């Protein structure tokens, strides 16, 4: 069985559905409140659980109240916890304001230690997997960045494919770290905004930027960009949703699933589109 290693946060998502987006010094009505497992890495692992692939998540969560919720929710999600550790740290939380038009605004409080600090764990982890996927949020803090880069290098040394989803804030605020990570990955999975922020710093003719770029275009599908050119892989049917949280992570899972089962980028992108559409449809209920 192919094992997909995923490194990144486990976060408690607190979804707040409001009647309109608040402006400063105003009051809005809270229509609904939900608590659920979140974090880009966790979402990607969760979407792979029903497949014949085996996701292994390398992450931590705290021994606080939010961590208690995470611990119970992980059991229900059937995610292998071999490399998930409960530590003396704060559990990451994101408060997500969802407006009626589907737009979202996030207030985040990341864990001070979202991944383990014990280096020996990483070698064992890399030796257990057939694919490595990393969350770009790890690139924003020095200790997490060093461990993420170490894992990428070890995976490449073992000829394991590596993918990275950067995250908008990481691209905006830690550009040099993202550019360094590009040297150690095979597939880069930004959305259109993230790619446009990064594009001016890339030189595709220099040979420095080797990975294949899989650019998420929302309802249109994805654009594939590599040294040979660019082409669009459209969605088969668009899904309108007021809650798009996790759709990009579901795409990541579908893409990885497609690559490990077909080894064809276009087919993998189609699978990614399918996984994202399924996530959106589920969240319409």
DSSP one-letter string for 77-124? HT---TTEEEESSPPEEEEEEE-TTS-EEEEEE--S-SS---HHHHHH
Nearest to 135 by CA among 272, 6, 273, 284: 6
Q: Write down all domains in the chain, each with its CATH number in brackets.
A: 3-10+40-91+112-283 (3.40.1190.20)
Alpha helices per DSSP H over the chain:
40-48, 65-77, 119-126, 142-157, 168-173, 175-181, 192-199, 247-262, 265-283
Residue 119: Cβ within 10 Å count:
10
**pLDDT score at 280:** 79
Residue 173 reports pLDDT greater than 70: yes
- What pLDDT, in 10s, does the model give residues 68-89? 999 999 999 999 999 999 999 9
Q: How far apart are CA 54 and CA 56, in angstroms?
A: 7
Q: How many CA atoms lie within 13 A of 260 on its CB side?
A: 26
Q: Which residue has the tokens 């930027």?
A: 209
**pLDDT score at 205:** 56
Q: Are 8 and 135 in contact (CB under 8 A)?
A: yes
List the beta bridge partners of residue 37.
12
Residue 92 reports pLDDT greater than 60: yes
Q: How many CA atoms lie within 13 A of 61 on its CB side?
A: 25
* 212-216 sheet: strands from edge to edge: 84-87, 54-62, 3-7, 131-135, 162-165, 187-188, 212-216, 221-226, 229-234
- What pLDDT, in 10s, does the model give residues 131-162? 999 999 999 999 999 999 999 999 999 999 99
Q: Are 190 and 171 in contact (CB under 8 A)?
A: yes
Residue 152 buriedness (CB in 10 A; 0-12 / 13-18 / 19+): buried
- What pLDDT, in 10s, does the model give residues 99-125? 887 777 889 899 999 999 999 999 999
Q: Are 43 and 249 in contact (CB under 8 A)?
A: yes
Q: Please give the average per-residue pLDDT across 216-220, as a whole number.
A: 91
């Amino acid at each position: 069985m192919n094992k997909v290693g995923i490194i990144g946060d486990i976060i408690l998502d607190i979804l707040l559905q409001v009647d309109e987006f608040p402006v400063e010094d105003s009051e809005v009505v809270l229509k609904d409140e939900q608590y659920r497992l979140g974090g880009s890495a966790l979402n990607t692992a969760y979407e792979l659980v029903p497949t014949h692939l085996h996701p292994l998540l390398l992450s931590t969560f705290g021994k606080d109240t939010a961590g208690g919720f995470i611990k119970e929710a992980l059991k229900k999600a059937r995610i292998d916890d071999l490399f998930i550790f409960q530590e003396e740290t704060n559990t990451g939380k994101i408060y997500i304001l969802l407006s009626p038009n589907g737009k979202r605004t996030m207030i985040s409080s990341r864990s001070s230690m979202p991944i383990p600090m014990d280096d020996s764990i990483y070698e064992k982890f890399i030796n257990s997997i057939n694919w490595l996927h990393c969350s770009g949020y790890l690139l924003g803090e020095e200790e997490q960045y060093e461990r993420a880069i170490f894992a990428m290098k070890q995976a490449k040394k073992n000829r394991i494919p590596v993918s990275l989803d950067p995250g908008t804030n990481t691209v905006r605020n830690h550009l040099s770290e993202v550019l360094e990570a590009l040297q150690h990955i095979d597939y880069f999975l930004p959305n259109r905004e993230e790619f446009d922020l990064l594009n001016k710093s890339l030189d595709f003719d220099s040979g420095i930027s080797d990975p294949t770029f899989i650019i998420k275009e929302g309802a249109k599908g994805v654009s594939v960009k590599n040294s040979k050119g660019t082409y669009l892989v459209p969605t088969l049917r668009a899904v309108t949703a007021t809650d798009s949280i996790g759709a990009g992570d579901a795409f990541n899972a579908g893409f990885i699933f497609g690559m490990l089962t077909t080894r064809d980028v276009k087919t993998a992108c189609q699978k990614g589109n399918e996984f994202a559409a399924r996530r959106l449809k589920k969240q319409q209920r």
